[in-house]
Structure 1
Amino acid sequence: MNSICLHQRVVSGLAALLFVASANLVAAPKQLTVKYDLLQQGVTIGSVKDQLTVTGNKYQIDSLAEGKGIYKLMGERTLSSQGDVAQNTLRPAHFESRQSKHPDKALISDFDWGKKVLNMQVKGEQETEKLEKGTQDLLSILYCWMWQPPKGKQVKLLINNGKKLSPHTFVVSEEKTPLETEAGTFNVIKLEDSEGEKTLYLARDKGYLPVKLVVQDDGKRMEQVITSITGQ
């Protein structure tokens, strides 16, 4: 599996997450640059760089995934999400997923909250679905935790992956052993999907930033692990 596909699976895995508790908006970040390593079977095959900017009640997130070594030949994948910071969470207005080697496969979504309609452009074709409160996209879902940290034992949500809306259920638990990474050691909360294929680790001592994701796919172990954090 190449690094670009891995990034898509990783982000899709992270997409199975949302919020159930409120947090103080003042404590949420204004500007962050977060870098991750992408690993398959313990071997680094790529990297991800995410940039988050919040100005007033507007947010912008941009993500770039690149392969390393032979995986670099597969090109880059970019994700972008922009919208509002509303009711102590992120409310997306526009989402895009693009791959440099396949520009014709772009996924573009517009969230019409007034009409409660999700408009999607899927490989040039138009699709629509009913938009429900709390819906996130593949990128906003990574960072909405920093406004509303997870609480309780279970999270249910809808996520737009660019092609459709999908329901997800995750079990929330607290890890007793700190997670050691290149970016530091973190006390984490674990979110595991009901099928046991994806597990996300959020750093409680870093504003519930996602610091690691493990995906089990066809007998292979894939990971996205944080390497650095800058900003405020």
Structure 2
Amino acid sequence: MVCRLRKSLYGLCQEPRCWFSKLSTSLKRYGFLQSYSDYSHFTLQTGSIQLIVLVYDDDLIISGNDSSTIATFKSYLSDCFHMKDLGVLKYFLGIEVARSPEGIFLCQRKYTLDIIAEPGLLGARPASTPIEQNHTLAKFESSILSDPEMYRRLMGRLIYLSFTRPDLAYAVHILSQFMQQPRQDHWEAALRTVRYLKGCPGQGILFSSDCDLHITDWCDSDWVSCPLTRRSISGWLV
């Protein structure tokens, strides 16, 4: 006896691919265009009306500039799938969303507190900066960590936290260079970054409602200061 599987079953390895294929086909049939740089990003432009859909597994974020068009699109999705409307976006993948007349505020406060609690630093004294000034982490030769996975796990979480915390960009950039063979000094420097988070766990990004859409940037090169690559480190801000 041979059984032929005519459709994917939940839990099989091919289920996510089949689900996303069906979802993307339904969105394209409605008129959405799939981004080539991010395949989970879909956009629909009809005159001055724009819809944007972001997909993660079976969760969707729907945004746009016309409420009636969004309602019509939700009705279309309800006809295609068994779906549940969770209302206005408040929490997604660890990112908390708050709205006010000033704009939209994004932060990862709960995620930050989880990062602080994991190494047991909830009662530690906060650090004033995420990394020491004029550090020499690349030259440290302390003992190699017996369990490098804890360092890599912490750095992975800090990298994700950087989405709403641009003030961590430089520290994470430096510390992530040592994930292959982290040493005790690197671990201590990473814990300093965690102690810095304790002083401002709810800090995030505000997308102002009266933004003028002008880009402001600056560059400050420190001229071949990296002892490993002899490259300059420059910064820019938008």
Report the TM-score range of the alignment, normalised by the length of the smaller protein.
under 0.3
Give TM-score, length-normalised by structure 2: 0.21
> Which structure is higher in RCO with an 8 Å CA cutoff and minimum separation 6?
1
Q: If each structure's helix is expressed as a fraction of its own residues, which one has the higher value?
A: 2
